[in-house]
Structure 1
Amino acid sequence: MSDKKVIRLRRARRSRLKMRELEAVRLCVHRSSQHMYAQVISADGSTVLASASTLDANLRSGSTGNVEAAKKVGQLVAERAKAAGITQVAFDRSGFKYHGRVKALAEAAREGGLEF
């Protein structure tokens, strides 16, 4: 693994330990160069309660690796989490900077009704 990835994963581990300590349901985000993924994971980390990504059939049209696509994923994951009865989450950015696509997804999820 590259040093950059190791450092990102170390940052992610630190924040996840704190979320586990607080027993928070977390909104976990992953970004690749082409896609965005978001999951709402239970407090014990054992089950995925809701998920959305740019791989979903209705989000796949058009570009999947830009800010607009990230906003759509944020709205969709918020909608699905609310349908599962979840409104309070902790935002797990997986060590990625809170900037660009990650920030767009987070703000869209907040507008969709998730609180974090």
Structure 2
Amino acid sequence: MSTKNESRLRRARRSRNRMREQGVVRLSIHRTPQHIYAQVFAPAGDKVLASASTLDSTLRSGSTGNAEAAAAVGKLVAERAKAAGVSKVAFDRSGFKYHGRVKALADAARESGLEF
């Protein structure tokens, strides 16, 4: 019997292996009940090109665990990725459902110019 987190990590491992084979830059997210984090990794996965989270001082005002905060993180990580010269990424949802805060972050990143 597997736990909920083990199942999520198994799903994440499958999609990450596929992205690694393709050799693409990936936008990886992680969410906790209180915060959401986003990082843009180089194709080898060894270097972080851009990152943003609700822990950033510019995003700390107000609630950090809702879809509005996730959208702000998506917009910020997209701006930072474009500043680093990245415009096309693969979206790594880390096994989380594409729903709610994860979807809000992805939509905001797309609207800010990231392609995936």
Q: Normalising to structure 2: TM-score of the pair?
A: 0.98
| 1:16-73 deviation digits (Å, cap 9, x = unpaired) | 0000000010000000000000000000000000000000001001000000000000
Two-structure CA RMSD over aligned residues (Å)? 0.7
- Number of residue-to-residue matches in the alignment: 115
Give the deviation of 1:106 after TM superposition: 0.1
Counterpart Cα distance in 2 of 1:48 and 1:82: 13
**SS of the counterpart of 1:58?**
helix
Counterpart residue number, 1:76: 76
Shift in Å, 1:12: 0.1
Unaligned stretches of 5+ in structure 2?
none
Runs of 4+ in structure 1 deviating by more than 2 angstroms, as ranges, are none
Please state how far the C-alpha of 1:112 moved relative to its aligned partner.
0.5
Q: For 1:1-116, what aligned pairs fall within 5 Å after superposition? A: 3-116=3-116
Unmatched segments (≥5 aa) in structure 1: none
Percent identity, aligned pairs only? 73
